[in-house]
Amino acid sequence: MLRDITLGQYYRTDSVIHRLDPRVKLVATFIFIISLFVVKNFWGYLIAGVFLAVCIKLSNVPPKFIFKGMKTIFFLLLLTMVFNLFLTPGTALVSFWKFTITYEGLKMASMMAIRLVFLITGSSIMTLTTTPNNLTDGMESVLGPLKKIRVPVHEISMMMSIALRFIPILLEETDKIMKAQMARGADFESGSLIKRAKSLVPLLVPLFISAFRRAMDLAMAMEARCYRGGEGRTKMKPLIYQKRDRIAYGVLYTYLIVAIAVGRILF
Amino acid sequence: MSLILDHVNYIYDEDTAMAHPALIDVNLQIPDGQFIGLIGHTGSGKSTLVQHLNGLETPTSGAVYFNGEDISDPDFDKKDLRSKVGLVFQYPEHQLFETDCFKDVCFGPKNLGLSQKEVELRAYEALKMVGFPDEYFYQSPFELSGGQKRRVAIAGVIAMKPEVLILDEPTAGLDPKGREDILGLIKKLHDEMGITVILVSHSMDDVADYVERIIVMNKGRVAFDDTPVNVFAHYKELEEIGLAAPQVTYVMQELAKAGFDVNAQATTLEQAKNEILKAFGRC
């Protein structure tokens, strides 16, 4: 049941997208997100959708797998849509009791929904196709210039990679603990809200204990190998741009220009 | 009263590139009161198999029957099944959460909806049954030694009075003394409570002395399912799938090969001792 959560997980397979330099993918995700907020009309979103679809196709990750992760944000999505639908002022389309649906509200709600779905899908593609290690390396290198103003870039990226690395481990552990408690008759699915919150105690206590134990073990293992932060560390596999990365950058900037042109200027 | 697995298949991560079968066409019948050893090395599917027995996993195809009822039937009461087929997981850390051991053991019977008095009585009985010392009853389960933690975990399941008790690697991470103690305890539970016991392990030496039937899993399939004597007779094949017969078997085989008049089929230390003494004419 918990295996359904795909957010922040790596999907092991081989594809062009998998082989791209992590910096390209980080910049691409960033640009894609910017384009989503710059674009003002549906034609722009169509372009973004096509770009996204091509990326999914190229990544060899089954679309089913990507959208399974969407279930977790469904509630957030619904809430945003409802708020936008009813609370945007403008020309009324339908009105009943105290609620009014406006044309602007409808437009806003659907745009918000598209934006959110694309945003999550876009960033999932990055995490699904990049190993946590690669992702951190890329992040460290992209954020490198910030070191000049004393931002602890290495430490931040190290924390990020550890956090990402532990998501699947802790999920698996949660699954195991849930099963162990269900074997003792625990019920996580039914009952009132308070009863359900209470039923989480037998799950959370062992989970926290194991997370702390793991954190301590990891700290010990890092110290045993003389880890002392980013100062003067070299890489075993330094990041070097290949031909495909340059092509990817070309495609990316073309996309940005087309998306902005279509989404803001042309229509 | 029995468990039957009928052509059970199970595929992990179906619909993804990581899909791989964990169980392939498993057919088993587990009658009442048997003491069974389920052997296989890591990834052979033994843990997945036992999770099918109490409905934590549902077969991708095939069916599991408990007392003649299909457990994947929507009307089937899974909670009732889990109280009758008790499963103790490998790491006690995965289930201990209360502030003291006694309360922790109460968790299972409480979930069955029993009265407070009955719950406490059962918890007390279970802790006594596993030989847990009185002075630790109100101590935090996290301060106990590995062996004692395991006792509390086992008591937590026994307190639900299961008809079938499954233990997943109950001796993992214990020292030799703790191992002997836990295995002796399981034997005692089987004999005194008359329940079916399934002992999951990757070590033949663990189970050889105790069980009456051995099921060997290899790559998701049942490789052997027979009495210990008959299974160990295949010690060459067992080695091929990365397992080994108990050390006693090797000693007896060597002795027989060297021309001593011993029964090479002795599987327990006791039998072997008697055979060797007999061969040397001391008995």
Mean per-residue pLDDT, A102-117:
84
pLDDT at A126: 87
Cross-strand partners of A102: A92
pLDDT at B15: 66
Mean per-residue pLDDT, A230-237:
77
Closest by Cα among B185, B178, B184, B177 to B154 = B185
High-pLDDT (> 70) share of chain A, % = 96
Give the tokens for residue A256: 């940005």
B258 vs A: CB within 8 A: no
Q: CA of A74 to nearest chain B CA: how many angstroms apart?
A: 22
High-pLDDT (> 70) share of chain B, % = 98
pLDDT tops 70 at residue A158 = yes
Instruction: Give the residue carrying structure tokens 């957030």.
Output: A76
Mean per-residue pLDDT, A141-156:
85
Q: What is the ipTM of this complex?
A: 0.84
Q: CA of A65 to nearest chain B CA: how many angstroms apart?
A: 7
pLDDT at A1: 45
pLDDT at A106: 83
Mean per-residue pLDDT, A236-265:
85
Q: Please tell me whether the overall predicted TM-score, pTM, comes out greater than 0.80 for this model.
A: no
Structure confidence at residue A2 as a pLDDT band (50, 70, 90): low
Average pLDDT for chain B: 86
Of A176, A177, A184, the CB nearest to B156: A184
Partners of B200 on chain A (C-beta within 8 Å) are: none
Closest by Cα among A51, A68, A86, A53 to A4 = A68
Per residue in B75-112, pLDDT (tens digit) is 888 888 888 899 998 888 888 888 899 999 999 999 88
| Backbone region of residue B230 per phi and psi (left: phi > 0; alpha: psi in -120 to 50; beta: other values) | alpha
Mean per-residue pLDDT, B123-148:
89
pLDDT tops 70 at residue A42 = yes
B273 vs A: CB within 8 A: no
Q: Where are the domains of chain A?
A: 2-266
Partners of B47 on chain A (C-beta within 8 Å) are: none
Average pLDDT for chain A: 83
Per residue in B176-228, pLDDT (tens digit) is 888 888 888 899 889 988 899 999 988 887 788 888 899 999 888 898 898 88
pLDDT tops 90 at residue A44 = no
B47 vs A: CB within 8 A: no
pLDDT at A215: 92
B99 vs A: CB within 8 A: no
Q: What is the DSSP letter of B139?
A: S
**Contact check, Cβ <8 Å, B157/A187:** no
In this complex, how many residue pairs, one in chain A and one in chain B, have their CB atoms less than 8 Å apart? 72
Pairing of β B196-201 and β B35-39: parallel
pLDDT at A7: 52
Pairing of β B20-30 and β B3-12: antiparallel
Q: How far is A102 from A90, CA to CA, in rounded Å?
A: 6
pLDDT tops 60 at residue A214 = yes
In the 3-class helix/strand/coil scheme, how is chain A assigned residue by residue? Answer: CHHHCCCCCCCCCCCHHHHCCHHHHHHHHHHHHHHHHHCCCHHHHHHHHHHHHHHHHHHCCCHHHHHHHHHHHHHHHHHHHHHHHHHCCCCEEEEECCEEEEHHHHHHHHHHHHHHHHHHHHHHHHHHHCCHHHHHHHHHHHCHHHHHHCCCHHHHHHHHHHHHHHHHHHHHHHHHHHHHHHCCCCCCCCCCHHHHHHCCHHHHHHHHHHHHHHHHHHHHHHHHCCCCCCCCCCCCCCCCCCHHHHHHHHHHHHHHHHHHHHHHHHC
For residue A205, the chain B residue with the least C-alpha distance is: B97
Per residue in A128-139, pLDDT (tens digit) is 888 877 888 888
Mean per-residue pLDDT, B247-264:
84
Structure confidence at residue B122 as a pLDDT band (50, 70, 90): very high
pLDDT at B43: 81
Mean per-residue pLDDT, A69-73:
74
For residue B18, the chain A residue with the least C-alpha distance is: A12
B87 vs A: CB within 8 A: yes
B40 vs A: CB within 8 A: no
**Contact check, Cβ <8 Å, B51/A179:** yes
CB atoms within 10 A of CB B210: 17
Of B17, B56, B91, the CB nearest to A182: B56
pLDDT at B124: 93
